[in-house]
């Protein structure tokens, strides 16, 4: 038996990541796959990357926010769909350790692994023919996912990007998004566990409680650009903004 953890969309939330990693360490997991958007939205870029790079059991794919922060750091044009968020990404890029930019630049958009004669795809989101992320499918179905991956040999496709949980199983393969680890309207860090044997593959959604108050307050303490919008949209207005301003 092999047990894998899938984490995605940490979005600069270090206490959520710390809680998830602590839980993962208690479960006898063999390896962790991190599916991108490690940075962006939340302010804890360095703290999150330090936690991840301190481990030797994590493999990475890059997300769109990771690419946008790297572009801002280098003074390059914002990637497709991120021009309106440029100020926020520049604020993060000004504070990130340059060593981490170098490491992030090595992350691919996809990883394909084989275990027990099963082929697993890990990606931040589905890619188009040009190698860029497709527009988010708001109401995905098993049928349209099967059509998207028609002709491939994947037994399991793991992805993130869309912050809600997706778990579809067809006669061809499973599709699994455990939900955003760091962007949620509840003080819960989400991730997934994949269990593989010679005869079966199973996916499980995990939620780990953590104290998110200080993290949410840090948006105002640090004067994070677009903080009111971020707290409302990505954290569900989970804290009284007037009380911490």
Angstrom distances, CA of residue 20 to CA of 17, 72, 111, 131: 5, 29, 22, 30
User: Which pLDDT band holds residue 239 (cuts at 50, 70, 90)?
Assistant: low
Angstrom distances, CA of residue 44 to CA of 4, 5, 74, 242: 25, 22, 20, 22
User: Which pLDDT band holds residue 244 (cuts at 50, 70, 90)?
Assistant: very low
Each residue's pLDDT tens digit, 152-175: 999 999 999 999 999 999 999 999
Would you state the structure tokens that stand for residue 87, as one six-digit string? 């100020």
Q: Look at residue 238 in the predicted model and tell me its pLDDT.
A: 56
Beta-strand (E) ranges in 84-200? Answer: 110-115, 118-123, 156-158, 166-169, 174-177, 188-196
Q: Look at residue 121 in the predicted model and tell me its pLDDT.
A: 98
Each residue's pLDDT tens digit, 76-114: 999 988 999 999 999 999 999 999 999 999 999 999 999
Looking at per-residue pLDDT, the higher value among 176 and 139 belongs to 176
Provide the whole-model pTM: 0.95
Confidence check: pLDDT of 17 > 70? yes
Each residue's pLDDT tens digit, 192-202: 999 999 999 99
* Share of residues in the chain with pLDDT > 70 (%): 97
- Average pLDDT estimate for 181-194: 97
- Beta-bridged to residue 149, according to DSSP, are none
Confidence check: pLDDT of 14 > 70? yes
* Share of residues in the chain with pLDDT > 90 (%): 93
Distance of alpha carbon 141 from alpha carbon 95, whole angstroms: 40
Distance of alpha carbon 19 from alpha carbon 21, whole angstroms: 6
Half-sphere exposure of 130 (CA within 13 A, CB side): 4
Length in residues, the chain: 245
Residue 243, SS3 per DSSP: helix
- Average pLDDT estimate for 35-41: 98
Confidence check: pLDDT of 10 > 70? yes
Distance of alpha carbon 59 from alpha carbon 141, whole angstroms: 28
């Amino acid at each position: 038996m092999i047990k894998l953890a899938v984490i995605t969309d940490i979005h600069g939330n270090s206490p959520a990541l710390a809680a998830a990693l602590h839980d993962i360490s208690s479960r006898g997991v063999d390896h962790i796959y991190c599916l991108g958007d490690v940075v962006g939205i939340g302010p804890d870029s360095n703290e999150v990357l330090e936690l991840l790079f301190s481990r030797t059991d994590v493999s990475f794919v890059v997300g769109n926010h990771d690419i946008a922060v790297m572009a801002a750091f280098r003074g390059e044009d914002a990637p497709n769909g991120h021009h309106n968020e440029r100020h926020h990404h520049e604020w993060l890029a000004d504070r990130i350790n340059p060593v981490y930019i170098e490491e992030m630049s090595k992350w691919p958009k996809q990883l394909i692994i084989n275990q027990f004669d099963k082929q697993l795809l890990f990606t931040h989101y589905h890619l188009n023919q040009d190698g860029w992320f497709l527009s988010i499918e708001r109401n995905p179905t098993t049928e349209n996912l099967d059509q998207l991956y028609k002709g491939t040999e994947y037994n399991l496709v793991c992805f993130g990007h869309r912050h809600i949980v997706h778990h579809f199983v067809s006669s061809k393969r499973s599709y699994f998004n455990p939900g955003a680890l760091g962007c949620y309207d509840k003080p819960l860090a989400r991730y997934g566990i994949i269990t593989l044997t010679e005869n079966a593959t199973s996916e499980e959604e995990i939620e780990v409680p953590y104290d998110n108050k200080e993290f949410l307050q840090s948006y105002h303490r640090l004067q994070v650009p677009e903080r009111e919008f971020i707290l409302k949209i990505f954290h569900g207005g989970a804290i009284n903004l007037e009380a911490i301003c």
